[in-house]
Structure 1
Amino acid sequence: MRTIGLIGGMSFESSAVYYRMINEMVRERCGGLSSAELLMHSVNFEDIVAMQKAGDWDGAARRLGDVALKLQIAGAECILICTNTMHLIADRVAARISVPLIHIIDETAASLKAAGRKRPLLLATRYTMEHGFYADRMKNLGVEIVVPEAEDRTVVHDIIFNELCAGKVLDSSRQKLMQIIEREKAKGADSIILGCTEICLILDPDNLPLPGFDTTAIHAEAAVGFSIGDERKQKAA
């Protein structure tokens, strides 16, 4: 079993979901009391949010790059950035390390293509929906995403930062998100990307008007596959 390195804390609410999911997946696949070999460095999200608001993506890249390198030195054999938004700087983080960085956009695009989905609606932070890095990488991987209208993007962003990242899950906000989904479904969206690692706290991807793709679960699945894939093949042989 190879060691997974997690850059967490953005927010710690979703990092806890990563930890639980990865360990549950390992136990399910390996049996008994199996759990994951992993390391997590949880950053102070307040510092990262300040960089986001200031547009200091260079500073954020240096910060997360330092963390990734520390995880590698500590024994991590792959790295995950446990947030969609900070994949804006993923290539710069990956350049600091010699172990693989498992990219959340790449893994999500592969899941969408495998399911034959061609027009997914992206629900995420404003940075992820508007900065272009997500749409551009998806397009290069053969997936054309759509995003909500400007007013709805503000609603989604505020629910994420003001509520979910603070541990608040409100039925009224769930209803707002469902209304946004219905509007975009009427315009031709054929699936939903839960493109913020906290959104799985409020929306069940299996209980939506369109097929849902939870990026947190997809990312965790990829990490587990990396960690135990070779080991399982060897045991089977």
Structure 2
Amino acid sequence: MKLIGMIGGMSWESSALYYRLLNQAAHRRLGGHHNARSVLYTLDFDGINRMAAEGRWDEVGAVLADAARRLESAGADFVLITAVSGHAVAAAVEAAMRVPLLHLADPLGEALRAQGITTVGLLGTRYTMEMDFFTDRLRDRFGLEVLVPPPDQRSALHSIIIEELTLGRVTPQARTTLLAIAGELASRGAGAVAVACTELPILAELDAYAVPAFDVVQLHVEAALERALTESSAAPGG
């Protein structure tokens, strides 16, 4: 099994989720006492969150690129960014390494295309919903139409994620808000919703949504395990 490198700490709650799901998937696949071979580099979220909020994405990119190089030096065969918003600097991470970055949007795009879904609603942080790093990849690579909530709902969802979920707080009111936002995306024509935040699965199970919901973290983890088990050494950027 190849060694999976993970850039974590954005937040540690999301890193813990990735670690648990990855090892559970390895056990289901391999049985016995198997788990996934991995190395996790944990960043301090406070500084990264402040840089992102101030729009200092070049600095965020430099921090994540440094983490990626450290993972490569530790022997990682490929790298995951264990946060959706962190993919805003995916290009900087890819440029810093010789080993591949497994981009989180790609397994989602493949899953949606396989089920014939052409319009998807996007749920995540303000960065994920308003910046183009996620929506453009889905549109350009998979031909998907991506719908996002209106500004007030984006702000409300971002606040829930950053001020509650990343601190481990889960409330019924937040769950109700999330599902209502998803329902409005469905009413606008979304054939599915992408649960595109590592913390959101903590808040609501997938079958609670009005339309099929795709957990991007679970898809990312499954794709990582598949690569670790089946692929020969990939070329840089693969």
Band the TM-score falls in, shorter-chain normalisation: over 0.9
The alpha-carbon deviation at position 206 of structure 1 amounts to 2.9
Within the alignment, does 1:170 sit opposite 2:198 as a pair? no
Matching residue of 2:93: 93
Matching residue of 2:235: none
Matching residue of 2:81: 81
- In the alignment, the residues of structure 1 paired with residue 30 and residue 119 of structure 2 have an alpha-carbon distance, to the nearest angstrom, of 36
Matching residue of 2:192: 191
- In the alignment, the residues of structure 1 paired with residue 36 and residue 207 of structure 2 have an alpha-carbon distance, to the nearest angstrom, of 26
Matches within 5 A, 1:27-176: 27-141=27-141, 142-176=143-177
- In the alignment, the residues of structure 2 paired with residue 26 and residue 206 of structure 1 have an alpha-carbon distance, to the nearest angstrom, of 24
The alpha-carbon deviation at position 207 of structure 1 amounts to 2.9
- In the alignment, the residues of structure 2 paired with residue 230 and residue 54 of structure 1 have an alpha-carbon distance, to the nearest angstrom, of 39
Matching residue of 2:236: none
Q: Percent identity?
A: 37
C-alpha RMSD over aligned residues: 1.1
Unaligned runs of 5+ in 2: 233-238
Within the alignment, does 1:25 sit opposite 2:29 as a pair? no
**Count of aligned positions:** 231
- In the alignment, the residues of structure 2 paired with residue 120 and residue 47 of structure 1 have an alpha-carbon distance, to the nearest angstrom, of 32
- In the alignment, the residues of structure 2 paired with residue 132 and residue 179 of structure 1 have an alpha-carbon distance, to the nearest angstrom, of 24
The alpha-carbon deviation at position 66 of structure 1 amounts to 0.6
The alpha-carbon deviation at position 46 of structure 1 amounts to 0.3
Within the alignment, does 1:219 sit opposite 2:220 as a pair? yes
- In the alignment, the residues of structure 2 paired with residue 95 and residue 227 of structure 1 have an alpha-carbon distance, to the nearest angstrom, of 21
Matching residue of 1:11: 11
Distance change (3 Å), C-alpha of 1:230 and 1:79: closer
Structure 1 runs, 4 residues or longer, greater than 4 Å off = none
Unaligned runs of 5+ in 1: 232-237
2:211 partner SS:
coil
1:49 partner SS:
helix
